Amino acid sequence: MEERNGLSARSAVLSALLGSHPPRLSARHLVRIGALFGIAEGTVRVALSRMVAAGDLIQSERAYTLSERLIERQARQDESRDPHTKDWDGTWEVAVVTAERRAPVDRAALRNTMSALRLAELREGTWMRPANLVRRWPEIVAAQCTLIDGRPHADPTPLLWDLDGWAAEARRLERALDRSEGLAEGFLVSAAVLRHLLADPLLPRELLPADWPGGELRAQYDDFDSRYREVLHTHLKG
């Protein structure tokens, strides 16, 4: 069952835990969050049972914690709010798929990994991005790809990312943060901002438009989140 805004019980639980540090909340608190959106207690509890069975959550002492896989997602979410970058010298990272026989599950896992690493696919099996992020290559990439550092003769950024589209949505979310009223609306806007930040390619400034709104959205969200968390905490304890 979903409430009038289309938020399912599973989405409400997941968003609440992804935004909590540590990612652990009691069943009572998760039920109260569901109630913000008209989701019945029984519906929330059924969703919790299903998420435990699916390996999304770990239950202990009447509380629920994110599984290891989802804790990794939370880490990516946190990283998107405060990205670890380095000065860019013009080098691009290129990962070319060279493994010959790959099961569909391996192909899908690599695609998900590349997206999480903020690489974009120039053509099938060729992924690339500027070498301005501080991180390590996971084993799955080394197992399926040959890694190359290079410098394209022409800037491939327009072929890889829709920067105008990302910027337009970022500005819409900035306005939504300004207009947000109440716990339910704030919860939905917060989740939308975090999803959008995960989609930020985190390009070096040399490749971005002069009016790129990434930094502004992060600063505005940090201010919003600190205030919103205080109000939500009071509501949950009430």
Structure token digits, residue 225:
């989140």
Across the chain, which distance is largest between two alpha carbons, in Å? 60
The 10s digit of each residue's pLDDT in 42-92 is 999 999 999 999 999 999 988 999 999 999 999 999 999 999 999 999 999
Distance, CA of 135 to CA of 165 (rounded, Å): 26
pLDDT at 2: 42
> What's 211's DSSP letter?
T
pLDDT at 3: 43
pLDDT at 1: 37
pTM, rounded to two decimals: 0.90
Backbone angles phi, psi at 183, to 5 degrees: -65, -45
The 10s digit of each residue's pLDDT in 196-238 is 999 999 999 999 999 999 999 999 999 999 999 999 989 888 7
The 10s digit of each residue's pLDDT in 129-159 is 999 999 999 999 999 999 999 999 999 999 9
Backbone angles phi, psi at 124, to 5 degrees: -55, 125
Backbone angles phi, psi at 96, to 5 degrees: -110, 125
